[in-house]
Amino acid sequence: MFSVPKVGTKAHVTINRSAVKVGRPISISLLDRNSSSYDSKVFSALKKEIKNKKGEVLALVHPRYSELIRCYGPGGPYASEYKAYQGKLENFLKASSRPILCFLQEHRARELENWLQGLKLKATLISIVIEDGPLIPPLLPSSQKLSALGSWFRLAEILEEIGVKNISYVGERVWKRNEKAEGCVAYVADHLKMFGGSLIDEFIFHVLPGRE
């Protein structure tokens, strides 16, 4: 098990769902035994599904993040490049049957959940809202008194409990500094490195110098 360092207090809000349905995001809070939202039926059903997938899941980090950045949005100089990436990513997600951990920006969580549901994916989607800001900790009901690092440890505990063994990462964004991958995708992967896995470069939006 993981040790969870406690510090400070903070109120978190998550989006709750009441049933597991393919292509419809469910909140991570339903899988958190320490949360009042915990649903044992959802927990058991998802644990069984992940076991059938041999513990393999995808992580989709900060989807559609770059569309808010001027140079990648409508009319921007790199808009067509970003649109092509987005189309390729959506096709990949539609072809996947592995459960998907969806790390969503706090201020756009509902919008992004609706977008994901509209894609009509054949995978089970687990919505993990992450705080806007540099440390992007996951917002969990049971981590209200934890530090940012403690919140990541608590998420790791939940993923371990539902049988996750390996995570592959897609999404936004990554850049290279001294040959080392940085950015939100790399940041999430580093905090969940106990599950191994890898970054799937083809479906990660890479930021080149000068295009931040």
Q: Is the pLDDT of residue 15 over 60?
A: no
Nearest residue to 99 (alpha-carbon basis) of 38, 166, 156 = 166
CB 145 within 8 A of CB 36: no
Q: Is the pLDDT of residue 141 over 90?
A: no
Signed CA dihedral, 195, 142, 111, 72: sign only? negative
Whose tokens are 């076991």? That residue is 51
Residue type, 166: N
82-114 per-position pLDDT tens digit: 999 999 999 999 999 999 999 999 999 999 999
- The distance of Cα 122 from the centroid of its chain, to the nearest Å, equals 17
The third-level CATH classification (topology) of the domain covering 26-206 is Rossmann fold (3.40.50)
Give Cβ neighbours of residue 41 (< 8 Å, ≥ 6 apart).
Answer: none
108-137 per-position pLDDT tens digit: 999 999 999 999 999 999 999 998 876 788
Give the start-end residues of each E strand in 34-146.
Answer: 56-61, 100-105, 125-130
How many alpha carbons lie under 13 Å from residue 37 in its C-beta half-sphere? 18
- Considering only residues 177 and 30, tell me which one the structure prediction assigns the higher pLDDT: 30
Q: Tell me how far apart the terminal alpha carbons of the chain are, to the nearest angstrom.
A: 38
Over residues 139-167, the mean pLDDT reads 90
Q: List the structure tokens of 143.
A: 């981590």
The whole-number pLDDT of residue 5 equals 39
Over residues 170-185, the mean pLDDT reads 87
Give Cβ neighbours of residue 212 (< 8 Å, ≥ 6 apart).
Answer: 69, 175
Q: What is the band of 212 on the pLDDT scale with cuts at 50, 70, 90?
A: low
17-76 per-position pLDDT tens digit: 445 778 889 999 999 999 999 999 999 999 999 999 999 999 999 999 999 998 999 999
Query: What CA–CA distance (Å, rounded) separates 122 from 50?
Result: 14
Over residues 141-150, the mean pLDDT reads 80
Other C-beta atoms closer than 10 Å to the C-beta of 23 total: 16
48 phi/psi in degrees, rounded to 5: -65, -45
Q: What percent of the chain has pLDDT over 90?
A: 68
Whose tokens are 């969580």? That residue is 109
Query: What CA–CA distance (Å, rounded) separates 21 from 112?
Result: 17
Q: What is the mean pLDDT of the chain?
A: 87
The whole-number pLDDT of residue 155 equals 96
The whole-number pLDDT of residue 181 equals 82
Q: What is the band of 211 on the pLDDT scale with cuts at 50, 70, 90?
A: low
Alpha-carbon distances, residue 86 vs 67, 70, 83 (angstroms)? 10, 16, 5
Q: Is the pLDDT of residue 210 over 70?
A: no
